[in-house]
Amino acid sequence: MVKRFLYSQKVAPYVFVLPFVLVFLVFWIYPLASSVGMSFQKVTLGQEAQWIGFDNYAKLMGDKTFFKAVTNSAVYMVLTLVILIPFPMLFAVLINSRLMWGREFFKSSFFFPALTSVVVAGTIFRLMFGEMEGSLINSILGWFGLDPVKFLKGQATGYIALVALATWRWTGVNILYFLSGLKSIPDDYYEAASIDGASSWQKFTRITMPLLKPTTIYVVTISIYAGLAMFIESMMLWNGNNSPKNIGLTIVGYLYRQGIEKNNLGYAAAVGVVLLAITMIINLAQLAFSGMFKKEE
Amino acid sequence: MKRTWLITLLVLTMTTILWGCGGGKPSASGGKTSVLDGGAGQSATELSYWTFVELHGQHFEKMLEKWNKENPERQIKLNVTVMPYDDMHNKLSIAVQTGVGAPDIADIELGKFPDFLKGTPQLEPLNDVIDPYRDTVVKSRIDLYSKDGKNYGVPTHVGASVAFYNTEILKEAGVDYTKIVTWEDFKQAGIKVHEKTGKYMGTADTSALWQVSQLLAQQGTDLTDDQGNPVVNSEAMVKALKLLKDLQDNNVIATIAGGQPDTEEAYGEFNSGNYATAFMPLWQMSRYTNYMTDLAGKIAIAPIPVMEKGMPRSVGGGGTGTVVTKTAKDVKLAKDFLAFAKLSLDANKEIWNTLGFDPVNMDVWNMKDVTHNPENKFVKYFVNNPFDVLNEIKDEIRLIKSTPASPTINNVLCTVTLNEIFEDGKDIKQALDDAQAQIEQELK
């Protein structure tokens, strides 16, 4: 009986996907549903939750700090997309090129920062971007005769520090994604193109870029999510969740502030639901735009 | 070939993710844990204690030895965990409210205390163990940690604010700090210091309210009204910040890395002699002896300047209430030990000896053998004896109330408003009106 069950071609697939489905239900659907529920409640730990309808959302709409957090996350996401998609793609192509010398060396050195913990990296970047004259970046500015800058106290300079940290950390990872995509492009296409007299640039735009599209879409999708959900980098860079004038406050940072620091879990859940909505809208739009939902031809 | 690549990639991705978690953990679970046995025997009860100030553990270590010697039947081992400020309070808040994982004893900083008094406090009332000492200690310090007549926290110090002057810089500029009485005197001295040495007389704090509290106390006002509602755009507040802004515009004070004197970055700045003055509660002394060792023998303590002669010259600043949680293993033992370790006469002497704090038992302030002990590291470090100053301002130490609105007020002023005023030069009245609106919105 057991044997028949296990060997059944109809049942086996479900048995194999069951662990995933369970994990998905318990760790994804359940928390998601309960967050949505909580966002309509006033929740204080240790006390009975009260249903308050749309009060949390109404409050959210009038909350300037929340909009500041949304703007910060959005700007950060756009900046990381602008830097962390084209450059890693270019580097991957260079590293993949036959003419490249010391390929393995570059591959591993680009990847190395991803192995460090955000906590350590953030702390080191905080010191590098310190406002004292003696901090690394300010000493470098000093060689060019420039005055020290209070990087972590200004909005624009704060973004520079955040994006520098993200670039340093994630360039290598994105290069690897693109490299694995490049490996799946058959050499024949390039050979054929060469015979037809195509230039390197033409090969890049006509063969590499179109065939890398699935990889690119994947990288864009996770980058959008990672950009909007960024939190630890900011927390480490500013040594806590409270940056001057909230220049480093992200959506998740605000969720943490309301939920954990202020013990206002219902309101925090509303923040989370809005974050989910924003991420889904942007990503679905992006995926639809890039044709991911069309049937393969 | 392709497959190996894919596998390598997968493995690498996974290690990255795992590394990420591994790296995050230490800060997440937080801090250092050490078990103090204080000469306790096998049968000792182990109590856990969370703090955000490493030094507080040292004080408990001393008191623990005494306790275990005096109470052989009720010996204690203390499991001390030191965590960063925000981390510890966040974790403690979740732990006491869910009733899972809280320590027996914990330090809660004044700025966070109101959060723990919301609703029904999940802390043990300490009235019965405080009662025997009630007449000996400063009442207002206990009131800070109370709700509806129940005392939930044991205070650590008075935290009288004083001025710390770097005499070396002042001498170089030809300034006599003992002649500084009013803010006008301070301004003139500061202008001289900046002209002669290029250094700043003091700091314009952007991430703490020490100076603001001092200036409000002088005018006899507060950050909240009698009902505990925020009034951060009051006339007194505008006057206080105008005074500080004027000092900044005249190069007397300047913003400092870290945003205020009690930060690691600022210790470095002070230690290098870039700023001559800090207006801080007396416990800043321990920061000097621990983190600013180059300044030994150069720092003098004096009363803070006032707007007009005769105004009160000090305010209690900061504070730590030590609490016993409802989930403590042995509530009675924890409470008795806590009172012994922080309120007894011995404890008050040790709070000065070990921590360099101004004890809440003010009788100690007059015990010359304790306060003027030439072997004491604080007595050795500073130019003059802090208690000479403390006794002079004893009756002028005011209090800034701690109310349910206080954590929000602190957060808005210290992250946004003070930065706008001192870093961006935003109009003071406007910045304060914005702050008031923001605070009211958040408290809705």
Question: Quick one: closest CA in A to B24, which residue?
Answer: A119
Summarised one tens digit per residue, pLDDT across range B361-417 is 999 999 999 999 999 999 999 999 999 999 999 899 999 988 989 989 999 999 999
Please, what's the b/e burial string for B108-130 (b: 16 or more CB within 10 A of its CB; e: otherwise)?
bbbbbbbbbbbeebbbbbbeebb
Contacts of B122 in chain A (CB under 8 A): 46
Which of B415, B422, B439 is most worth mutating to test chain A (most A CB atoms within 10 A of its CB)?
B415
B93 vs B115: CA distance, rounded Å:
8
Same-domain status, A160 and A86: yes
Same-domain status, A110 and A206: yes
Cβ-Cβ pairs closer than 8 A, A with B, add up to 103
Residues B155 and B145: beta-carbon distance below 8 Å: yes
Q: How far apart are the first and last CA of chain A?
A: 43
Average pLDDT over residues B224-243: 95
Summarised one tens digit per residue, pLDDT across range A5-25 is 767 788 888 888 999 999 999
A30 vs A184: CA distance, rounded Å:
38
B287 vs B355: CA distance, rounded Å:
10
Q: Is residue B14 pLDDT above 70, yes or no?
A: no
User: Is A50 within the bounds of a domain?
Assistant: no
Q: For tokens 């953990």, what's the residue?
A: B25
The answer to whether B416 contacts A246, with C-beta atoms less than 8 Å apart, is yes
The answer to whether A263 contacts B93, with C-beta atoms less than 8 Å apart, is yes
The candidate with the shortest Cα–Cα distance to A214, out of A177, A187, A189, A186, is A177
Helix (H, G, I), strand (E, B) or coil at B124: coil
A154 vs A159: CA distance, rounded Å:
9
Same-domain status, A62 and A113: yes
Same-domain status, A138 and A185: yes
Question: Quick one: closest CA in B to A131, which residue?
Answer: B257
Residues B229 and B405: beta-carbon distance below 8 Å: yes
pLDDT band at B19 (very low <50, low <70, confident <90, very high): very low
| pLDDT number for residue B20 | 38
| pLDDT number for residue B30 | 54
B207 vs B418: CA distance, rounded Å:
7
Residues B441 and A62: beta-carbon distance below 8 Å: yes
| pLDDT number for residue A295 | 62
Q: Please say whether the dihedral angle defined by the alpha carbons of residues A144, A150, A154 and A160, taken in this order, is positive or negative.
A: positive
Which of A43, A103, A116, A117 is most worth mutating to test chain B (most B CB atoms within 10 A of its CB)?
A117
A171 token code pair: 């360039």
B146 vs B127: CA distance, rounded Å:
10
Mark which residues 71-130 of A lie under 8 Å from B by CB.
111, 114-120, 130
The answer to whether B118 contacts A246, with C-beta atoms less than 8 Å apart, is no
A226 vs A166: CA distance, rounded Å:
10
Q: Which range has the top average pLDDT, A203-207, B53-57, B336-340?
A: B336-340
The candidate with the shortest Cα–Cα distance to A96, out of A214, A175, A149, A11, is A175
- Bridge pairing between strands B161-166 and B299-302: antiparallel
Same-domain status, A6 and A80: no
A243 vs A236: CA distance, rounded Å:
10
Structural element, H or E, at residue B315: strand B314-315
Summarised one tens digit per residue, pLDDT across range A200-222 is 889 999 999 999 999 999 999 99
Residues A127 and A213: beta-carbon distance below 8 Å: no
User: Is A220 within the bounds of a domain?
Assistant: yes
Same-domain status, A66 and A182: yes
Q: Is residue B26 pLDDT above 80, yes or no?
A: no
Contacts of B19 in chain A (CB under 8 A): 114-117
pTM, rounded to two decimals: 0.83
Is A53 at the interface with chain B, CB within 8 A?
Answer: no
Q: CA B163 → CA A59, B92, B166, distances in Å? A: 43, 33, 10
Same-domain status, A158 and A26: no
Q: Is residue B218 pLDDT above 70, yes or no?
A: yes
Q: What is the CATH number of the domain that holds A98?
A: 1.10.3720.10
Q: Which of A249-263, B10-24, B104-118, B256-270 has the lowest mean pLDDT?
A: B10-24
The answer to whether B16 contacts A119, with C-beta atoms less than 8 Å apart, is no
Mean pLDDT score of chain B, rounded to an integer?
89
User: Is A44 within the bounds of a domain?
Assistant: no
The letter for the amino acid at B297 is: G
Range of the domain at A32: 1-38
Name the minimum distance, in Å, from the CA of B339 to any CA of chain A.
Answer: 28
The candidate with the shortest Cα–Cα distance to B105, out of B264, B341, B309, B277, is B341
Same-domain status, A248 and A193: yes
User: Is A47 within the bounds of a domain?
Assistant: no
Helix (H, G, I), strand (E, B) or coil at A131: coil
Same-domain status, A28 and A151: no
A229 vs A223: CA distance, rounded Å:
10
B303 vs B177: CA distance, rounded Å:
10
Helix (H, G, I), strand (E, B) or coil at B398: strand
B147 vs B114: CA distance, rounded Å:
9
Contacts of B423 in chain A (CB under 8 A): 150, 153-154, 244
User: Is A72 within the bounds of a domain?
Assistant: yes
User: Is A284 within the bounds of a domain?
Assistant: yes
Strands annotated E in chain A = 41-42, 50-51
Q: For tokens 């403690």, what's the residue?
A: B92
A264 vs A255: CA distance, rounded Å:
9
User: Is A46 within the bounds of a domain?
Assistant: no
Same-domain status, A169 and A28: no
Structural element, H or E, at residue B48: strand B45-51
Residues B56 and B355: beta-carbon distance below 8 Å: yes
Question: What is the pLDDT tens value at each position of chain A, 297 positions in all?
Answer: 677 776 778 888 888 899 999 999 999 999 999 999 999 998 876 677 889 989 999 999 988 899 999 999 999 999 999 999 999 999 999 988 877 788 888 888 889 898 888 888 988 999 999 888 888 999 999 999 998 898 998 999 999 999 999 999 999 999 999 999 999 999 899 999 999 998 988 999 999 999 999 999 999 999 999 999 999 999 999 988 889 999 999 999 999 998 888 888 899 999 999 999 998 999 899 888 887 777 655
The answer to whether B441 contacts A176, with C-beta atoms less than 8 Å apart, is no
Tally of domains in chain A: 2
Q: Is residue B17 pLDDT above 50, yes or no?
A: no
User: Is A178 within the bounds of a domain?
Assistant: yes
| pLDDT number for residue A296 | 56
Question: Quick one: closest CA in B to A248, which residue?
Answer: B415
Same-domain status, A23 and A60: no
The letter for the amino acid at B94 is: I
Same-domain status, A2 and A103: no
Average pLDDT over residues B193-210: 95
pLDDT band at B21 (very low <50, low <70, confident <90, very high): very low
Average pLDDT over residues B102-129: 92
Residue in A65, A245, A263 nearest the CB of B97: A263
